[in-house]
Structure 1
């Protein structure tokens, strides 16, 4: 992770340089952050490295704008805080829709593409219940479990992370759902505009789905499935993993049951998940009953690291040595109490 000045939006030239660096061949997320650490800024990196020309960024930006979208660059105020602390955080995301959704407590629901009817119904019921409880629902817009979860959460808030460019509908049967999420939820894509989804893009997409979320819920995952990759990344990122159990005779649950054997949390309904995280409070509820966080050891550590001087969220994660999900929950609680001010560059301070 870059240890230098985090803000990019306050410096348009640096923001533009980050876009050029991120879109350059052979510079993935890890190399992007290494370049920032080595050179001190993207502007200096662009002077010494071979990067894409400004005209290429302008063309992509114009195409994105025609669809009502924009770039989210690391350092922008709207860049998802939960992703910012990851060592392989996407340097830039294309976004269409409600940019406020990633600031809400988020849970991911993933599972089989060839899901059973019962599995799809369970995913839909779970997404709807968690949505009503105040959670945004993230997934990968695949057919099966992903699509069922997105559809059920359209009214309460859903985030779809795409493996291809943000304009690429995949699979084609989800075209109407793709449009609906752009209108009523949020589409995110790390891959450049116009790029078709390819095999190596799906694991990269999965790390974003889990990274956005406080927890990942797995429904009908076979052995060696993409859902297991998402669950593995979630564990690496310090997120909770929840699993719906199934018959050991059903191969669609082979991976799911293995996750439970290895320590994932078995769930039966939304209450099992809400029991772990609690029910997110609305702003009106927070006014009536302030959120109490100071008695939790990790929360108290985060609170002690905050002050009147704005601090980058990713710096809080490193300094406090707690998960990004914990920091996000503490910051949300403080914001609901009216004790937190957010600044450009994904920085926060106490009021």
Structure 2
């Protein structure tokens, strides 16, 4: 049974759309593979696609070997455990390779995406929001890329929450390679997912394609930081086409990584300032899933460090966008030595964040 699905998925030139045509016409992969050229054309394939099936069927030994490993699973479109939200999209992957717990794919999820090169503030925001959402009962779904993706996965893992990573490669490899430890932790505590056969190398065209899975698995997609031509906007577009909620966190008008988010908001995405903004929007869909208690930050007013008057005065000299240390010194009227010492303490207490080039910015929730 699995072998026929694997062979069908590995045929060149079919793609999800071609496979879906065959499944609609023949019902099962095995019947599709054994049919005649005339029937393939009746099913809606073109001549090139029909010729691909006429050739020797692809070798799936690598896939079968991977499936024999502990924690490796294959979900087909006909499997009762196939995630229903994804199945309801216009182009669901015929098969999904899963490393970890396949049951998690049916759990309510929120996609979090953004820049691969975020600001320190953007990465911190993603990680903090992901903690909130995971504590509230949502699984965090992203693409395990550098930057916002990784911060989102880590935020969920910080609080022993659920997280799902959708890969743009075969699950026998990790991309980027530096995320091997993260991938292992996600597989152990959540799930790694891919539609691509075992052995598939990173290819640029595969990453936009996998974005439809990230959004398709999720009730909504939150974009944290994105430039105007960011790949994250592809995920947001897919989410919109799939009838899912699209959320965006605004930023400074001077930050190029906020422009993609601002564009989404102009186009109708919901502006997000706090995690509760997202949870309240999704609440009607999640009344039986979300934890009933109000989600609170890991740092509560009772245990968070308190600033003295001098530190608060210095904080007033720092903007929510990167502020040069020379400007901070000028505004505060303090000596450079005093400012440097206080900034270090305030950064350690998470009231501010440093940026390259001697810039600092206030973090949300510092009041």
- What TM-score comes out, normalization by structure 1 length? 0.73
Structure 1 Cα separation of the partners of residues 152 and 111 of structure 2: 9
Gaps of 5+ in 1: 1-11, 286-351
Q: Do the aligned residues in 2 keep the contact of 1:222 with 1:252 (CA within 8 Å)?
A: yes
Structure 2 Cα separation of the partners of residues 271 and 44 of structure 1: 50
Structure 2 Cα separation of the partners of residues 42 and 209 of structure 1: 25
Mapping of 1:1-351 within 5 angstroms? 12=1, 16-47=3-34, 48=36, 49=50, 50-51=52-53, 56-66=59-69, 68-154=71-157, 155-278=160-283, 280-281=287-288
How many residues get paired?
Answer: 272
Structure 1 Cα separation of the partners of residues 106 and 262 of structure 2: 32
Distance 1:53 1:71, change over 3 A: farther
Higher relative contact order (CA 8 A, sep 6+): 1
Q: Do the aligned residues in 1 keep the contact of 2:133 with 2:275 (CA within 8 Å)?
A: yes
Deviation track 1:115-136 (CA, whole Å, cap 9, x = no partner) reads 1111111101111101111101
Structure 2 Cα separation of the partners of residues 271 and 76 of structure 1: 35
Distance 1:198 1:284, change over 3 A: closer
55-64 or 184-193, which deviates more = 55-64
CA offset at residue 55 of structure 1?
A: 7.5
Query: Superposition RMSD on alpha carbons, in Å?
Result: 2.0
| Equivalent position of 2:312 in the other structure | none
- What TM-score comes out, normalization by structure 2 length? 0.70
| Equivalent position of 2:303 in the other structure | none
Gaps of 5+ in 2: 37-49, 293-367
SS in 2 for 1:138: strand
Greater C-alpha radius of gyration = 2
Structure 2 Cα separation of the partners of residues 283 and 265 of structure 1: 20
Distance 1:282 1:89, change over 3 A: closer
Q: Do the aligned residues in 2 keep the contact of 1:20 with 1:53 (CA within 8 Å)?
A: no
Q: Do the aligned residues in 1 keep the contact of 2:115 with 2:148 (CA within 8 Å)?
A: yes
